[in-house]
Amino acid sequence: MKTLEAFAPSLRCAAFDFDGVFTDNSVYVSETGEEFVRCSRADGIGLAVLRALGICCVVISTEKNPVVAARCRKLGIEFRQNCDDKVAALSEFLAAEGISMAETSFLGNDVNDLAVLSRVGFPAAVQDAFPAVLQVARWVGQCRGGHGAVREFCEFIAIARQGTKL
């Protein structure tokens, strides 16, 4: 099993779940049924650093809510949402980019991430991920989902890749 330091030179794509990773897994619902989520603004800088290192970034989410698309567009990253099969969605995205699963990391938090976590080269989890996810992760962050977990993972990759903090 490779550490991130050993894996970092071959990393070409960082993939992420959305709910519970970019968000704190909470949902706010208005009286009209409109949903809102909470995200950390700090994540954007981390994603920009990965792109500058030549690492593509993509969100793979089962969520149908348009907030996924809105946040990803704001951050300037690719996304696939409403995915019943995260492995198939990520495989299709990677094939179009010419990247293998072995060259990909995935940051997840819940049991619907287990299949994709078991297929990527470097599975990772946020601090408050469900126990089954924590068991398969090679890296577990200090931050909870929605509280800078994406930024933390991006910084860890950047340090492993180039030896410096963001």
What is the pLDDT averaged over residues 154-162? 89
- All domains of the chain in start order, with CATH: 4-162 (3.40.50.1000)
Q: Could you read off the pLDDT of 34-69 as tens digits, one per residue? A: 888 999 999 999 999 999 999 999 999 999 889 999
Q: Could you read off the pLDDT of 85-138 as tens digits, one per residue? A: 999 999 999 999 999 999 999 999 999 999 999 999 999 999 999 999 999 999
Q: What's the whole-model pTM score? A: 0.94
Paired tokens of 152:
């933390």
Mean pLDDT of the chain: 93
The C-alpha angle with vertex 48 and arms to 165 and 23, in degrees rounded to 5, equals 95
Q: Could you read off the pLDDT of 63-88 as tens digits, one per residue? A: 988 999 999 999 999 999 999 999 99
